[in-house]
Amino acid sequence: MKLREVRQLVQVQAPVLSRSRRVLASAYNVAEYRAAAQRALPPGIFDYLEGGSEDEVTLRRNRDSFDRWGLMPQWGPVTGPDTTTTVLGRVSALPLTLTPTGATRLFHPEGELAVARAAAAAGVPYGLAGLSTVSMENVAAQSPGLERWFNIGLSSDMGYQQAKLDRCAAAGYRALLVGVDTRALGSRERDRKNGFTAPPALTLASLLGIAARPGWWMNFLRADGLRFPNLEPAGTDAGLVTPSVWQQILGHSDASRGWADLETLRAMWPGKIILKGCVNPDDVARAQEIGMDAVQLSNHGGRQLDHMLSPMDVLEESRQRVGGGLELIVDSGIRRGSDIVKALALGADACSVGRPYLYGLAAAGSPGVSRVIEILAEELRRTMTLVGVSSVAELQQRGAGIVRDLRGAAPEARVAASEALREAM
């Protein structure tokens, strides 16, 4: 065969020299973006992104909790499929939100601004962390079309709380994500080992790890110093992280806060409120009783209480407890469009991702975040088509009929069933 004929049959791609463009051109799933993030970040920073608490049992369970469910397609015509839905009463292009992650500028100098741009372009909500490294006003100014949510803790200082709510309202944040899973900080032992504590006490190994990633540290040094401007009064973005800010970070959650404080917050905030970080159906039911608009079932991506249940373990029961009256969002472990299909079939209104968009950010900045959202959207559409549903509404209507709990049947029963099948064949 002549070279010309080979060329007609096989297209050879030109090599791409820029590392981020190479990733954008070649990475085709979230796992590949994870690998690219690992190559781009100093090991200690990657550990901060990736790690879970203590033995990381919950971190591993989060993936397992999706794999436990099998999909059961039904034959029939499919159109579209249409992934549009509503989340908290607003149209969203996908049943997907980007969940808050603190200190995002550690992963890329543009940090939360890059994430916000990608979320706005994709037409999905973004929850900004209270510990974000760009101010909530700056994010709002640079992403005017974004559906913006803000992550807060409950404070006993009503003046401080009211000032924070006023800032959120003035900057056009429509919903509050109230974290209830950080009564104490989870022990992330990778961070302790690396010296990624508050304030940081980097080990020699961490410093060498940073030195080995010149792309990362040159960007980091060129960018503005790392700050947590939402902890300070509005307009004081200029100060670096001071000892008092570290104190606030460490004292971020006040374990003495409870349901009465949530009721107070409900009375103070006219917008939407999402309770983030529970997996107990009793808590979900109580959230509904006191007028929360949604619950984000979450174990903080396995970063807080180790051995905590995964949202997928409690989703069906939670949905049964609240009927259709409360929106349920699921996070912790979502890495594929098929995960979203499973969660929606079991009663979720939407899913939320943390690490996946951070992988995209670390690997390729804002285009990387966009690409990760696109990958999840493509996988969602493909899975919906293969399963046999044309819209999110149809997927939710068909519900549990689409999924089977592979652990539901006793193993002996499954073995007997497959033996009977083999005999019949």
Ligand X SMILES: Cc1cc2nc3c(=O)[nH]c(=O)nc-3n(C[C@H](O)[C@H](O)[C@H](O)COP(=O)(O)O)c2cc1C
354 lies in the site for ligand X, by CB under 6 A:
yes
Q: Which of 49, 124, 278, 369 binds ligand X (CB under 6 A)?
A: 49
Report the residue number, 173 or 389, with the smaller CB distance to ligand X.
173
Q: Which of 345, 353, 392, 402 binds ligand X (CB under 6 A)?
A: 353
Report the residue number, 148 or 355, with the smaller CB distance to ligand X.
355
135 lies in the site for ligand X, by CB under 6 A:
no
Please give the full DSSP string across 170-227, using - where no structure is assigned: HTT--EEEEE-S-SS----HHHHHHT--SS----HHHHHHHHT-HHHHHHHHHSPPP-
Residue 14 gets which letter from DSSP? P
Token couple for 96: 């997907």
Report the residue number, 25 or 198, with the smaller CB distance to ligand X.
198
Task: Tell me the C-alpha distance between 45 and 38, whole Å.
Answer: 9
CB 46, min distance to ligand X, A: 10
Report the residue number, 216 or 388, with the smaller CB distance to ligand X.
216
Q: Which residues of 108-122 are buried (b: 16+ CB within 10 A; e: fewer)?
A: bbbbbbbbbbbbbbb
42 lies in the site for ligand X, by CB under 6 A:
no
CB 100, min distance to ligand X, A: 4
Identity of residue 292: M
Identity of residue 355: R
Q: Which of 27, 98, 120, 334 binds ligand X (CB under 6 A)?
A: 334
Task: Tell me the C-alpha distance between 35 and 190, whole Å.
Answer: 18
- Hey, which residues between 276 and 315 contact ligand X (CB under 6 A)? 276, 298, 300-301, 303
Task: Tell me the C-alpha distance between 286 and 323, whole Å.
Answer: 13
129 lies in the site for ligand X, by CB under 6 A:
yes
- Hey, which residues between 213 and 272 contact ligand X (CB under 6 A)? none
53 lies in the site for ligand X, by CB under 6 A:
no
- Could you identify the residue written with the tokens 């374990």? 255
CB 276, min distance to ligand X, A: 6
Judge contact between 83 and 394, C-beta under 8 A.
no
Q: For the chain, what is the radius of gyration of the CA atoms?
A: 22
Active centre residues (catalytic): 300
331 lies in the site for ligand X, by CB under 6 A:
yes
CB 49, min distance to ligand X, A: 5
Report the residue number, 339 or 347, with the smaller CB distance to ligand X.
339
Judge contact between 125 and 92, C-beta under 8 A.
yes
Report the residue number, 106 or 140, with the smaller CB distance to ligand X.
106
Task: Tell me the C-alpha distance between 309 and 279, whole Å.
Answer: 7
The span of 31-39, 108-116, 310-318, 331-339 binding ligand X (CB under 6 A) equals: 331-339
Binders of ligand X: how many residues, by CB under 6 A? 22
Task: Tell me the C-alpha distance between 91 and 80, whole Å.
Answer: 17
CB 45, min distance to ligand X, A: 10
Backbone angles phi, psi at 293, to 5 degrees: -90, -25
Report the residue number, 66 or 269, with the smaller CB distance to ligand X.
66
Q: Which of 333, 360, 365, 367 binds ligand X (CB under 6 A)?
A: 333
81 lies in the site for ligand X, by CB under 6 A:
no
Judge contact between 180 and 295, C-beta under 8 A.
no
99 lies in the site for ligand X, by CB under 6 A:
yes
CB 12, min distance to ligand X, A: 37
Token couple for 201: 């006490």
Judge contact between 58 and 331, C-beta under 8 A.
no
Q: Which of 97, 135, 151, 383 binds ligand X (CB under 6 A)?
A: 151
92 lies in the site for ligand X, by CB under 6 A:
no
Listed residue (229, 279, 284, 276) closest to 253, CA to CA: 276
- The footprint of ligand X (CB under 6 A) covers 49, 62, 99-102, 129, 131, 151, 179, 276, 298, 300-301, 303, 331-334, 353-355
